[in-house]
Structures are given as structure tokens and as C-alpha cells.
Structure 1
Amino acid sequence: MQKLTRWMGALGTVLLAACGASAQTTTAPAPQPAPAAAAGHAHAQHAASPTANPGDVAFMQGMIGHHAQALVMTALVPQRTTRPDIRLIAERIDVSQHDEIARMQRWLRARGQAAPDPSEHAGHDMPGHAMMPGMLTQEELARLASATGPEFDRLFLEFMIRHHQGALTMVSQLFATPGAGQDTELFAFASDVDADQRMEIDRMRQLLNGPAAGPRQR
């Protein structure tokens, strides 16, 4: 009887061990699928630069050089004028055109296009481009740089008005170019340039009449 009991106990132990081993057996994990070709294609599309119309690119690259010359002109103001109103509008032009240059460079780089460095084209026309509308010649820049006081004030305002009018012409030419000006970001930018420079032209025309009248002395 004892032998039978020990034999049955040993059999139970073997059966329990076999069941445990069976319970621990797991199905091999299914191999992970390789990245889908469609996903790779979508990633490539996301990484690709947006396409750009050649007319849009030429406008942005040219306007960087155009703005660069305006910055050369505004840099002359602090040492050559005594009028706070001219200092103020020169500062406004300086800030807005620095911001716009950075905006144009970002737009160009996002589309895989060359983004000119304004410091390399300051004061002169862009290589490969015809003389852009409103741009000053080297002789005119030298004349402005050599003037001081009221003569400088007059030349600065006259030249900058002409310079701004040239930018308006460039915007008009952009929108007249077939297929150009359709990019949403570029359209908004060019429209902002047009509106801002029209406003500054109006202000500079007022300044040509002389300093703003201050309060009357009693």
C-alpha cells in the first residue's frame, strides 16, 4: 500500500510538471511588418521643400537687395540729421525692413532657394539683376552720405520716397507675372510691403514740408 501511494504521488508530480511546462509554452511573436512603402513616401513628401514659382523667387531675392540699400540709407540718419521726426521714421524703416529681410530669407530657404545675405549686397544692385526700380546709384548714395543738416534731410526723404515707390513697382510687376504671386505666404508678404510702404511714402511727403509743428510758445 505504501508503495502504491508513493507511486501515485510520483505520478501526480510528473503530471503537474508536464502541465506547467505546457502552460508556459507561448506562441512565437509574429514578425513585425517592415515599414510600409506608403509611409516612406509620405515622409519624403513631408521632408521635401515646397515648390516655388521662378517669378516668386526672383521677387524675394531681388527685394532682399532692395531692402538692403534702404538700410544703408537709414544708417546715415543718426549722424546727419537734427530732426527727431526724420530719426523716428528712419528707425521705423530700419526695423520693418530688417524683419522683412528675415521673413524673405526664411521663405526662400524653406523652398530650397538661395537666400542672399543683405550685407553682401547693401548699397548696390543684386548680381544678375537689372537695376531694380527706385534703387540709388553709387553716386547718389555718395551724395547722400556727404550731406548734413537740412540738405541731408531733403535728400534722404526724396531718395527714400523714390526707393519705396520702386518697391511698389516690384510688387506690381510680381502680380503681373503669369503664375507668380499665387503662393499664400508670398501674397500676404507682398501685400504687407505694398501697404506699409504706401503709408511711409505719405508720411515722408509730409516731412518734406518741414518739421512737425510743435505747441505754440506763449
Structure 2
Amino acid sequence: MTTLDHLVYATPDLDATVAELEASLGVRAATGGRHPGLGTRNHLIGLGGRSYLEIIGPDPGQETPAGPRPFGIDELAGAALVSWAVAVEDIDAAVARARARGHDPGDPRDMSRRTPAGDLLSWRLTPPPQAGRGLVPFLIDWGATRHPAESGLPPIALLSLTIAHPDPAAVAGRLAAVGVPLDDGGPRLVQAPRPHLSAVLSGRHGDVTLA
């Protein structure tokens, strides 16, 4: 069984989006760190347990990367909930299981970043989507690294996560392949004219929807 690791809220203007979320949610996202070579940096908000919201955008302190920034950031006109990740303890085994069930998450790769305090975080993940909406989550394995959600992030409550698609059955099999439960507290899968993700968070003035 996989569990929610984090939601990815991508934006072309990280500082502006962090300020907007602070106004609506009532908490200031903690500084995460830079992703060397990718041209991005992030801020984080805890969602309870070992789950968090990642707000990610361009890092003006880095040179323009050789390739496109992840999650289609270079093409975004505004902030959007673009993807999500589920945590696994043995990513190679999880990828093998998914492939045996008809879904290929991609080959895991190593990544790392420094925290503001200078600590090195290292993890392995399958390739996130470069553009579009990542309805099926990518996989992440933190290994022996201390999980970001355990570093005292400002907390809010995640009330729901919804996956929408014109043909939900086409997505359900891929979700099952990576071990995502669609009941018993898992995300909701619904039919909609266009594919998209949406999450409802508990904010200062009421519920806040990220889509």
C-alpha cells in the first residue's frame, strides 16, 4: 500500500503564490530549498503525518537550466495543482510491481537538495510529468533521509483529493498499479470533461480549493 507523500502546486512566481496561500490558508509556507540544475526552488506546508504541500517555482538564483523546468513550470500562466507523489519504501520493487500490472512509472533516479540549515536531503523518485496534469502519482523513496514533513512545517488539514478524467476507468487501473486506494480514505476518482486534480484544504476563512 502506498501513501500520499506530497501534492505539487507549481507556479511561475513562487514568492507571489506563497503570499497568496498565506492570505487564504493563514500559514506561511516554510522555505524548502533549491533544486540544483533544475532551475527551481520550493516552499512547504505540512498536511499531517508524513504528507506535505510543495509549492515549486523558478529559482532566480540559478542559471536558466539546459532543459525545461519540471512540472511544465515554464508554460504555466498561473499557479496550478499539477501532480502528486506517493511514498514507497523500496522504489525498485514498487516500479517492478507497477510494470507487472500494466503501468510503467519510469526508471527511478537519484535527487538531493540542501535545507536552509545546510542539511542534505537525498531521495529517489520516478520521473514526474514535464507538462500537463499528473493524475497518476509519481513514486518517491526517502530512504534513510529525514522526511521533510518531520521538520516542523506549518500545518494545515487536507480535506480531500480528487482525480477527474473523462474516462475514470482508464485511470483507475494505473492508480491500482501503483497501489493507490480509491476508498477507505484515498482520493476520489470522478468523471469530468477534462483531466485535472483538485485538493481541498482547511483555510483561515474556510475551505480553499487548489486545482
State the TM-score bracket (shorter-chain normalisation). Answer: under 0.3
Greater C-alpha radius of gyration: 1
Query: Comparing both structures, which one devotes a greater share of its residues to helix?
Result: 1
